[in-house]
Amino acid sequence: MFQYKKIICFLGVLVCFAITGAGEVHFRKGDRIGLFGDSITQGGSYAAYLQMFLAGTDVQIINIGLSGDTSSAGVRRIPTLLKHVDMNVVCYMLGVNDVKPQFFKTPEMDDAKKAVFDNFRKSASKSIELYQQNGKRVMISTPCAYNQYSGAHTWNVPYKDSVGVAGISAISRELAAKYKIPFFDIQTPTRGLFQKFPKVKFAPDRLHPERFVHVIIAANLARQWGLSPDIGDVRITGNSAVVKAGKVENLKRENNTVSFDYTPARLPIGSCNDVEKARKYYDLDTLINRETLSVTDLPAGEYDLFADGEKLGRFSAEQLKKGIKLTSLATPHQKRADENMKMQKEIEDTMRYYSINYRFRFIVECYAKKNYDDAEQRRAYMKKWCENGQKDRRLARNFRSVYEQFLKHIDGREKEIVTRSRILAERLHNASRPSVCRMLLKPVK
Nearby residues of 170 by Cβ (< 8 Å), 6 or more positions away: 6, 7, 10
Whole-number pLDDT of residue 163: 81
User: Average pLDDT over the chain, rounded to whole?
Assistant: 86
**Do 44 and 244 touch, CB atoms closer than 8 A?**
no
Mean pLDDT throughout 77-84? 90
Task: Please give the residue that has the higher pLDDT: either 148 or 343.
Answer: 343
* Segment among 140-149, 184-193, 260-269 with least mean pLDDT: 140-149
C-alpha span between 256 and 101 (Å, rounded):
66
What pLDDT, on a 0 to 100 scale, did the predictor assign at position 383?
77
Instruction: Give dist(CA 249, CA 231) in Å, integer.
Output: 16
pLDDT at 137 over 80: yes
Q: Residue 6 has what pLDDT?
A: 46
Question: What confidence score (pLDDT) does residue 362 get?
Answer: 81
Question: Is 3 a residue whose pLDDT tops 50?
Answer: no
The architecture that CATH gives domain 4-225 is 3-Layer(aba) Sandwich (3.40)
12 — pLDDT class (breaks 50, 70, 90): very low
Share of the chain above pLDDT 70, in %: 87
Residue 36 in this model has a pLDDT that exceeds 50: yes
Each domain of the chain, given as residue ranges in start order, spans 4-225, 230-332+432-443, 343-429
**What are the tens digits of pLDDT across the range 399-408?**
777 778 888 8
Cross-strand bridge partners of residue 437: 262
Residue among 175, 184, 289, 212 nearest 45 (CA): 212
CA 91 to chain centre: 11
Q: Is the pLDDT of residue 49 over 80?
A: yes
CA 252 from centroid of its chain's CA atoms:
41
Tally of CA atoms within 13 A in the half-sphere of 342 that contains its CB: 5
Question: What is the DSSP-derived secondary structure letter of residue 63?
Answer: E
Spatial separation of the C-alpha atoms in residues 298 and 101, rounded to whole Å: 62
Q: Cα(383)–Cα(47) distance, rounded to whole angstroms?
A: 30
Give, in degrees to the nearest 5, the angle at Cα 79 between 417 and 362: 50
Q: What is the pTM of this model?
A: 0.89
Task: Give the whole-angstrom CA distance, residue 104 versus residue 146.
Answer: 11
Give the span between the Cα atoms of 174 and 180, in whole angstroms.
Answer: 10
Tens of pLDDT, residue by residue over 297-331, are: 999 999 999 999 999 999 999 999 999 999 999 99
Q: What are the start-end ranges of the H helices in 110-239?
A: 111-133, 163-179, 187-196, 211-225
Phi, psi angles (nearest 5°) of residue 389: 75, 165
DSSP SS3 for 293 = strand
pLDDT reading at 232 higher than 90: yes
- Whether the pLDDT of residue 111 is over 90: the answer is no
> Distance between CA atoms of 360 and 379, rounded to whole angstroms?
9
Chain centre to alpha carbon of residue 350: 16
